[in-house]
Amino acid sequence: MRKKGSYRPRGREEEPYKVNSRIRAREVRVVGDNVKVDVYSLEEALKMAEEQSLDLVEISPKADPPVCKIIDYSKFKYEQKKKQKEIKAKAQKTVIKEIRFGPNTDDHDFNFKLNHGKKFLSEGSKLKVYVHFVGRTIVFKDRGELLLLRYASELEEFGKVEQLPKLEGKRMTLFIAPKAASK
């Protein structure tokens, strides 16, 4: 059952800015190209925008009086979307690679997984290294912790420990983040 007043038509996004006749303030501060920055009545501001065949867009509604800009709204929306895409593209995506051990892992397997850890950290990925205790091997918690600490100390030059070994259920987990690339 839907809450009363929560209906939103599909496919239509609510406009983030008030445009032209949707602006409700009596007076607005008008900014934009070819405009004298000043406080005008809403009618005057709308008339100025219409004379330039542009839109009056409320940029800062919380200001007193609200700030409106005379611009082409569709072009403005396009540029806003473009900026959002750029910000999203620049945001660094963190990849977490997992490496699993048993409490009785032998030296050869340890070294094999150590090389993988070095490769992952040098690529810039985070590591989630864990020891999985199966059945009665849970009695070897200390072995698991020593194994993880040894692993962390071997990878010291490639990454730094974010979280020390921590037992959660049947897994003892350690997080290692890559060191920042030296410039």
Residue whose pair of structure tokens reads 């929560």 in the numeric block: 6
Is the pLDDT reported for residue 5 higher than 80?
no
pLDDT of residue 100: 93
Distance CA 30, CA 44 (A): 10
Q: What is the DSSP letter of 104?
A: T
User: What's the CA angle centered on 145, arms 140 and 149, to 5 degrees?
Assistant: 150
Rg (CA), the chain: 29
**3-class secondary-structure state, position 103:** coil
Confidence of residue 11 (pLDDT cuts 50, 70, 90): low
**3-class secondary-structure state, position 29:** strand
Let me know: does 59 contact 89? Beta carbons within 8 Å.
no
Distance CA 137, CA 25 (A): 71
pLDDT of residue 103: 87
What tokens were used for 111? Answer: 């070294």
Confidence of residue 183 (pLDDT cuts 50, 70, 90): very low
pLDDT of residue 129: 93
Let me know: does 59 contact 42? Beta carbons within 8 Å.
no
168 beta partners: 171
Average pLDDT of the residues in 124-143: 89
Average pLDDT of the residues in 139-167: 90
Let me know: does 35 contact 44? Beta carbons within 8 Å.
no
Mean per-residue pLDDT of the chain: 85
Is the pLDDT reported for residue 18 higher than 50?
yes
Distance CA 116, CA 101 (A): 13
**3-class secondary-structure state, position 36:** coil
Measured from the Cβ of residue 94, the count of other Cβ atoms closer than 10 Å reads: 10
Specify the amino acid at residue 182.
S
Average pLDDT of the residues in 68-72: 88
Burial class (CB in 10 A: 0-12, 13-18, 19+), 18: middle
What's the pTM value of the predicted model, to 2 decimals?
0.51
